[in-house]
Structure 1
Amino acid sequence: MSDSLLFHKTYLHPTSKDWVVFVHGAGGSSSIWFKQLKAFKPHFNLLLLDLRGHGRSNNMFRDMVKNPYTFKTVTTDIVQVLNHLKIQSAHFVGISLGTIIIRNLAELAPERVTSMVLGGAVTRLNTRSQALVKAGNLCKHIIPYMWLYRLFAYVVMPQKNQRESRLLFVNEAKKLCQKEFKRWFKLAADVNPLMRYFKEKDLSIPTLYLMGDKDYMFIKPVKEMVTCHPFSKLTEFENCGHVCNVEKPEEFNAHTIAFIQQNINNKQQIAA
């Protein structure tokens, strides 16, 4: 695999021409989708990838070490993989910060995005999360990054039933180096300006938000976003937190597969 490409893995379906691309969040990797693979394989071609600096993409982009990350550059990494695999368009499924990257991809190259499923979507940082980011920015040079990451993981996923999600992301984050963590951490400052723009501009791309009703830091802004965008809808999972694909995998899989299949059927009907 080329050093200029993200690490990626495909699962090919014997007959389907439809692709589903999974995008993880900051500090994670493609391994967070382990509860989705079995359910999705019988229906679609699948593409899993590790964002730059994460998982098995952690040794790539050595020529970019000194350059700050932007949502545009991180999004372009995914487009390069799509081009490499000759995937013209796909259905995108994301979690947490990965939802922003998918939404940015839909802005930069809307013809590549057939539909979006945004789980634990980040559409705005509230006052508490902004304060955490600012505090983290002040301390990131003097406090070990894993201390900061554990703190963020606990604040975002504080409940007992979210323990599996916390541990999963903390264990994945251990694979990041300090410098890599800082580069991704700086992206947090760009979230609110970017999402204000996205809120004002709706795209005619079918979008499903999947949120836990206990995802108290992010669910309110999503509800506000959905009221502004006629092509978007929201499904809430009871007694569920931020990482809903891990906490409620059966519900997550069922709603996502049904949504994608509905959009495939609609597209076929229009074509006919």
Structure 2
Amino acid sequence: MPYATTDDGVRLHYEECGSGTPVIFVHEFAGDHRSWETQMRHFGQRYRAITYAARGYSPSDVPEDVAKYYQARAADDIAAVLSCLRIEKAHVVGLSMGGFATLHFGFRHPQRALSLCVAGCGYGAEKGQQDKFRNEVATVAAFLDAHGIEAFAAKYAYGPTRVQFENKDLRGFEEFKRQLSEHAAVGARNTQLGVQGERPSLYDLVEPMKALTVPTLILTGDEDWPCLQPALLMKQTIPSAALSVMPNCGHTINLEDPDQFNRLVGDFIVQVDAGRWPERDPRATVASITGIK
């Protein structure tokens, strides 16, 4: 079983298939490396497709010290996997927690990103929601301590932006819920407290987003309510960003509608590799609708 070792000594299990330009997939809090199986099969036919289990997710190491879990570390772990595989640059695709890590990878390692796909990114990011989100993080951590991962999965899987997945694909949803129930409770707890609960608001990252020139695709489901406004913020702020909203979709968009997700990401990567991905024309940001002064 292959592992990449980070500079703080944590081993990260990774998988890869295919050959060609590298594309690395970064999973969400409720998922793991298995969540990207449909993407690995699809993109592995055309690219060198890579995914890994984040720290805290078996078979990667599960540090018991919550200080080992934080946002910058999550971004640097992407770089650690790429370095282990001797990859200088890659397309980086992340969902939710992985989307935040992907965005921060763009801030911290822009020279190593061919492109960024930031999907389902925004939970707790809005200024008026931060205290509520941190309270929810504390509640989740306490529930995991008290009841364990199986009881947690039985509740968390039915969140208001995940029921769309259940309604659309019950078999896929049941697999997602089962895999969530197999996570390490201490890893989930520490990820919530260290990565989720302490990450900066997107609204505090406007200046680094303005400076980001890596080709970027923002993806969100139109029923992923906490991510809609943050998706607009990223679109409006990142000069190299495009926004695509997937209709009748919740949060787990790569699993809920893999065909549409793969098409959108695939078309994006093709344009980037062809040198055809634009930065925003400054003329598109003038205040006048007509452009007539």
TM category (shorter chain) comes to 0.7 to 0.9
1:189 aligns with 2:197: yes
Write the mapping of 1:7-22 to structure 2, written as runs, cut at 5 A.
7-13=13-19, 16=20, 18-22=21-25
CA contact (8 A) 2:117 2:219 kept: yes
> How far has the Cα of 1:152 moved from its partner?
3.3
Going from structure 1 to structure 2, the CA distance change for 1:125 and 1:233 (only over 3 Å counts) comes to: same
The corresponding residue for 2:38 is 35
> How far has the Cα of 1:3 moved from its partner?
7.2
CA contact (8 A) 2:56 2:190 kept: no
Structure 2 unpaired stretches of 5+ = 6-10, 278-293
Residue 65 of structure 2 aligns with an amino acid whose one-letter code is: K
> How far has the Cα of 1:216 moved from its partner?
1.4
Going from structure 1 to structure 2, the CA distance change for 1:72 and 1:224 (only over 3 Å counts) comes to: closer
TM-score by length of 2: 0.79
The corresponding residue for 1:153 is 157
Q: How many residues align?
A: 260
CA contact (8 A) 2:18 2:45 kept: no
Write the mapping of 1:227-242 to structure 2, written as runs, cut at 5 A.
227-242=236-251
Describe the superposition over 1:122-155 as per-residue Cα deviations: whole angstroms up to 9, x where unpaired: 3644536454324334544334344344433322
TM-score by length of 1: 0.84
Choose which of 9, 22, 26 in structure 2 pairs with 1:23.
26
Describe the superposition over 1:229-251 as per-residue Cα deviations: whole angstroms up to 9, x where unpaired: 22111111111111111111111
The corresponding residue for 2:51 is 48
Going from structure 1 to structure 2, the CA distance change for 1:122 and 1:153 (only over 3 Å counts) comes to: farther
> How far has the Cα of 1:210 moved from its partner?
1.5
The corresponding residue for 2:286 is none
The corresponding residue for 2:186 is 179
1:142 aligns with 2:150: no
Which moves more between the two structures, 39-48 or 148-157? Answer: 148-157
Aligned-pair identity (%)? 23
The 2-side partners of 1:39 and 1:195 are apart by 31
> How far has the Cα of 1:207 moved from its partner?
0.9
The 2-side partners of 1:210 and 1:173 are apart by 23
> How far has the Cα of 1:87 moved from its partner?
0.2
The corresponding residue for 1:65 is 64
> How far has the Cα of 1:224 moved from its partner?
2.4
Choose which of 214, 220, 225 in structure 2 pairs with 1:216.
225
The 1-side partners of 2:272 and 2:111 are apart by 15
Q: CA RMSD in A?
A: 2.5
What SS does the aligned partner of 2:145 have? coil
CA contact (8 A) 1:20 1:93 kept: yes
Going from structure 1 to structure 2, the CA distance change for 1:145 and 1:9 (only over 3 Å counts) comes to: closer
Going from structure 1 to structure 2, the CA distance change for 1:30 and 1:177 (only over 3 Å counts) comes to: closer
The 2-side partners of 1:3 and 1:45 are apart by 17
Which moves more between the two structures, 21-30 or 146-155? Answer: 146-155
Going from structure 1 to structure 2, the CA distance change for 1:165 and 1:70 (only over 3 Å counts) comes to: farther
The 2-side partners of 1:49 and 1:117 are apart by 16
The 1-side partners of 2:257 and 2:3 are apart by 35
Choose which of 195, 207, 219 in structure 1 pairs with 2:216.
207
> How far has the Cα of 1:267 moved from its partner?
7.4
Structure 1 unpaired stretches of 5+ = none
Residue 158 of structure 1 aligns with an amino acid whose one-letter code is: V
The corresponding residue for 1:102 is 102
Going from structure 1 to structure 2, the CA distance change for 1:113 and 1:85 (only over 3 Å counts) comes to: same
The corresponding residue for 1:87 is 87
What SS does the aligned partner of 1:6 have? strand
> How far has the Cα of 1:190 moved from its partner?
1.6
CA contact (8 A) 2:145 2:185 kept: no
Going from structure 1 to structure 2, the CA distance change for 1:2 and 1:244 (only over 3 Å counts) comes to: closer
The 2-side partners of 1:43 and 1:20 are apart by 10
What SS does the aligned partner of 1:262 have? helix
The 2-side partners of 1:158 and 1:199 are apart by 32
The 1-side partners of 2:172 and 2:96 are apart by 12
